[in-house]
Homo-oligomer: A and B are copies of this chain.
């Protein structure tokens, strides 16, 4: 039964049957913590099971009881990182949804979630780089990562869906060349979402992370100084492209 669980999965408290399992969870967490330290110091490409083991006072072969390979450890770190941004986004979304029903709520939620993503990224730049930066050479993400990777996007979809239902959206018409792709996209990511919303939403998703990446990766050095106010304004304008803000002009 338990053998079927992947080594890196965090088991729910109810699954803890005794000291054995608890120790396993603690060691797994210690390995990931140490690996994250090395991620910050040396980068994902140089993540080495041996170095992690050495730092923990273990022998490298012992690590293989917890992570069958270096790539599995990397996958665990990637899943954790996606889950961490995803949870930050979901939490800020819940907080911003508190006073529901008020007009303009869609925009407020959008900005809140964007800021949560940015805050998390600035607080965890190396984990951010792991998931939204350059791909790690020789590593290909397994299927396990796609669910966690989608969490932030799901929050954005929910915001726009709610606003679409409750507030109505002001959107530019969908160009003909994009119609087939937009329809496929909508059916794929959120059945029931209007194609004219789906395409701009995916674009806005990428653009949001463009803003965050430029700041985290240093492209704004000596360019943008008042970064938070700049970011808030940029994502507010970005919200316009998904219909969350009335169009002026």
Interface residues of A (CB under 8 A from B): 41-46, 129-130, 132-138, 141, 146, 149, 170-173, 175, 177-178, 180-181, 184-185, 188-189, 199-200, 202-203, 205-211, 213-215, 217-220, 222-226, 229-230, 233-234, 237-238, 240-241, 247-249
Contact = CB atoms under 8 A, between A and B. Distances in A.
A83 to B, nearest CB: 17
A135 B189 contact: no
A128 B44 CA distance: 18
5 contacts: A172-B237, A177-B233, A199-B230, A200-B234, A208-B210
A135 B129 contact: yes
Copies of this protein, total: 2
Contact of A181 (B133, B138, B199, B229): B229
Contact of A178 (B210, B211, B218, B233): B233
Contacts of A211: 203, 206-207, 210
A199 B230 CA distance: 8
A217 B184 contact: no
Contacts of A222: 146
A240 B180 CA distance: 23
A135 B42 CA distance: 11
A236 to B, nearest CB: 8
B247 A189 contact: no
A43 B181 CA distance: 33
A133 B137 CA distance: 13
